[in-house]
Amino acid sequence: MSAREGFWRNDKNDKELRNEIDEGVEEVFGSVAQDSGLEEKKVPSGLIDAVWFFHKNGEEKAREIFDWYEKAITRRNREALGLGSFLYHFFGEGSSEKNYLFGDDHDGYVLGVVRHGVFIPSHFAPRSLRGGYRLIKDLGESQEIPAVLAITDDLAETIKRIPSWHNLGISFPARFRGEVHNKQLVYNSHPNIERILPILAEDYLAEENRSDVNYTNDYEEEMVG
């Protein structure tokens, strides 16, 4: 058994891990639309393959990234994925899609997948508050990596203060652990991203329409102090 196969097995069995991942894979940024089958295979330059990262840096570094993620989500009064689930999803065999990282050891990392050639983050693991700001600012300004975030209303209020991020003007309900949260789509300043936005928006809206309950798209903005 390889280290990558064994590091997640100590705390939960496979079924428990998959259930937790299914419920909590979009802890920070919100729902990630399901793959529509049109995914572009090209991966933007500047992203790091998570499996390659693990083999190069080992489990200790992966655990350190989890610690950064856990601290970030705890600051937002939300429940984090367990260590085993986090490692299994991003660095093991727990995801049906390849995962990628953006960032570095100085500021931390943003983790997510690539759809239609666009980086779709799902988890945020900043090393510090200042590092978190730099991560989002740098991703917003990237000329190599087109990126779209599906984020809660309060995070949208925060991110709109960064000029390199733009609100698409679409909100939709997403179910998370028995609760429904409104999400907004924001996109970065990559020069070619606007051509792919309609396809991504269709993905998110199609996911909304598959819900067994219809929810209004209206939302009340929450100010972040």
Domains in the chain and their CATH numbers? Answer: 12-209 (3.40.630)
Cα 183 from Cα 201, distance rounded (Å) = 12
Tell me the average pLDDT of the chain: 78
Q: Would you state the pLDDT for residue 176?
A: 63
CA-to-CA separations, 175 to 27, 179, 202, 216, in angstroms, rounded: 11, 6, 18, 13
Phi/psi of residue 110, nearest 5 degrees: -110, 135
Percentage of the chain lying above the pLDDT 70 cut = 72
pLDDT (average), residues 22-51 = 65
Percentage of the chain lying above the pLDDT 90 cut = 44
pLDDT (average), residues 112-138 = 93
Residue 149 buriedness (CB in 10 A; 0-12 / 13-18 / 19+): buried
Which of 115, 92, 89 is CA-nearest to residue 24? 89
Q: Would you state the pLDDT for residue 219?
A: 20
Model confidence band, residue 177 (pLDDT cutoffs 50, 70, 90):
low
* pLDDT surpasses 70 at 118: yes
